Chains A and B, each alone.
Chain A
């Protein structure tokens, strides 16, 4: 039996099992999206695979009733934790009218759902970072105690909006958690061509905030880091930069061929550290998960994914002329 690491974080066995279930659901939804794409049923998919542990670990550390999240396009695990459903993600994949993110207006991966405080996002990377700062500023002005949580890739940490937003939050001591999901690649460009510093978290010092790098394949390590960041924020001590290091297990998107810039050996090597496997093993070693339960969990998830797919595939598109709506308030 390995050391129980979740107890000291205040996480019950049920809680870590729930985390694993959301990770697994994220993975299965993503895999289904690829199948749908490759069979010509949906035009596009951009993946969460390899980052579920970081996403779910972080999102579980937040207050899901009050905090605001500004996810980036891979954050299936984050939005599922914050209340978006598999069905809703599938509706987005199929670009159907009922898609709560955009009613089929945006590509999949462009999350937004006001009732769950998932703030609408776009494709130009890192524009959500100043928004997270603005929402935190508004919360501070109104005396609220929520934090804002925003994510982005390591390539995006080069964008001006990251630096401008981080600096603003640092100066005004705002409760923002900046989480960089470092998956080693910005499409084809590896991290050593993106950063001259060793870690993305090294950038925090310039903005007067702590920066930590944690293993993105370890949901408990990410949970701990984000929990500490959220606590700091709520205590009025300002923002934190958390970097989670993992690996992008798929090509950048359904339109990318990653074998043109990295090797299958490298990908295979990374897959041995896949948190779906390693965290599953941790739960089994701690007697929380067993083969029967795992099978049951997988069956339930596949049922959910199948139902979501069927529903979304058969759901209607928005009326074509509805594209004229919502340019301005009516």
Chain B
């Protein structure tokens, strides 16, 4: 099976869907001739032409809003926000429009759009090229938010998102783009949106996380294994709506739960995961739910010292895991 990078999985999924369905098209800033600032749409302009790989004016609300209009008509737009941090001008279009089109029209209209955006820190991106923005959208019924961790999941979930008949926000960790490689079959496959995935079976403690932090958890789990501590790792993959069943099952399995996000802590995705566990697993728990997250500051600073302090990393994860295991 070929081993490809996380970003190549993005490009592959888009290319295959554009080949399969002529209604699929890409729009965004620099997505055409340049192939994207990260090269996520590399080669698509050459293959499909400027009519299906559209370099738009620099205006995020129009990128989202024009995409939404095309989606309501029946196309399958994939809108790119150059950085998740820059999605803010489009929030009205995403929350007031995309999320509510099916609901407000009593199922008369729908909005099958995918909005992709690179998120996440550890790339010297400072306040405005490092943020995690999922929590802003994670209390908006009507939206789905997918945040895959591996190239395999990227391809299967992005294809599923493009074929989905509801709006999907697809957040890609920009540090994972070239750091994370993995086996990805050449064939056409989709993975279910809304389903978490057990990335490692374990008996002593449970880690529930998503995105790049999945890899930190798996690395730390490997270290703990050599000390006889068995770690169960659940990758949420879809952070909204959450896979409650899988969360409850994973938490109940070991009774000790560590929740990890790279986002700031208060009001984050893992806050909701924590609430689900608290509501459903009281008698299964052997330790208080533990959360590891970024500090509650507006965003991560530029200086490497401060950026490092902000970011979750394998050492912090390992430390938290050991602490929980010993509880």
- Which A residues contact B (CB, under 8 angstroms)? 68, 99-103, 105-106, 110, 112-114, 119-120, 122-124, 127, 129-139, 141, 160-161, 164-165, 167-168, 171-172, 325-329
**B141 lies within 8 A of chain A by Cβ:** yes
A327 and B57: CB pair below 8 A?
A: no
Q: Could you list 17 A-B pairs, sorted by A, with CB under 8 Å? A: A102-B106, A110-B104, A114-B105, A114-B109, A120-B108, A122-B104, A130-B61, A130-B66, A130-B93, A131-B65, A133-B69, A134-B69, A138-B73, A141-B51, A164-B59, A165-B65, A327-B141
Tell me, in angstroms, the Cα distance from A131 to B77 when the chains sit together: 13
CB distance from B17 to the nearest CB of A (A): 16
Which B residues are CB-close (under 8 A) to A110?
A: 104
From B95-103, B199-207, B215-223, B313-321, give the one contacting chain A: B95-103
Shortest CB distance A149–B (Å) = 13
| Choice from A119, A138, A172, A326 contacting B106 with Cβ under 8 Å | A326
Closest chain B residue, CB of each to CB of A130: B65
* Chain B residues within 8 Å of A136, by CB: 69
B186 adjacent to chain A (CB < 8 Å): no
Q: Does B110 contact A (CB under 8 A)?
A: yes
User: CB of B271 within 8 A of chain A?
Assistant: no
CB pair A103 B106 closer than 8 Å? yes
B97→A122 contact, CB < 8 A:
yes
Decide yes or no whether B166 CB sits under 8 A from chain A. yes
A328 neighbours in B (Cβ, 8 Å): 102, 142, 144, 166
Asked whether B92 is an interface residue with its Cβ less than 8 Å from the other chain, the reply is: yes
Q: How far is the CB of A42 from chain B (nearest CB, A)?
A: 19
Q: Do residues B104 and A105 form an inter-chain contact, with CB atoms below 8 A?
A: yes
Assess the B74–A138 pair: CB atoms within 8 A: yes
Where the two chains meet, the residues of B that have a C-beta atom closer than 8 Å to any C-beta of A are: 25, 51-52, 54, 56-57, 59, 61-62, 64-75, 77, 89, 92-93, 96-97, 100-110, 141-142, 144, 164-166
Residues of the B chain whose Cβ atoms lie less than 8 Å from the Cβ of A138: 69-70, 73-75
Is A102 in contact with B96, judged by CB distance below 8 angstroms? Answer: no
Q: B74: which A residues are within 8 A, CB to CB?
A: 138
Residue of A nearest to B67 (CB): A134
Selected from A120, A123, A160, the residue in CB contact (under 8 A) with B109 is A120
- B19: min CB distance to chain A, Å: 16
Given the contacts A133-B65, A161-B61, A165-B62, A120 and B92 also touching, CB distance less than 8 Å: no
Closest chain-B Cβ to A129's Cβ sits at a distance in Å of 7
Given the complex, which residues of B lie within 8 Å of A161, measured CB to CB?
Answer: 61-62, 65, 92-93
A78 to B108, CA, bound (A): 19
B54 proximity list for chain A (CB < 8 A): 172
Complex-state Cα separation, A106 to B103, whole angstroms: 10
Which residues on the A side are within 8 Å of B56 (C-beta)?
168
**In the bound complex, what is the Cα–Cα distance between A119 and B111 (angstroms)?**
12
| Residue contact B109 to A119, C-beta cutoff 8 Å | yes
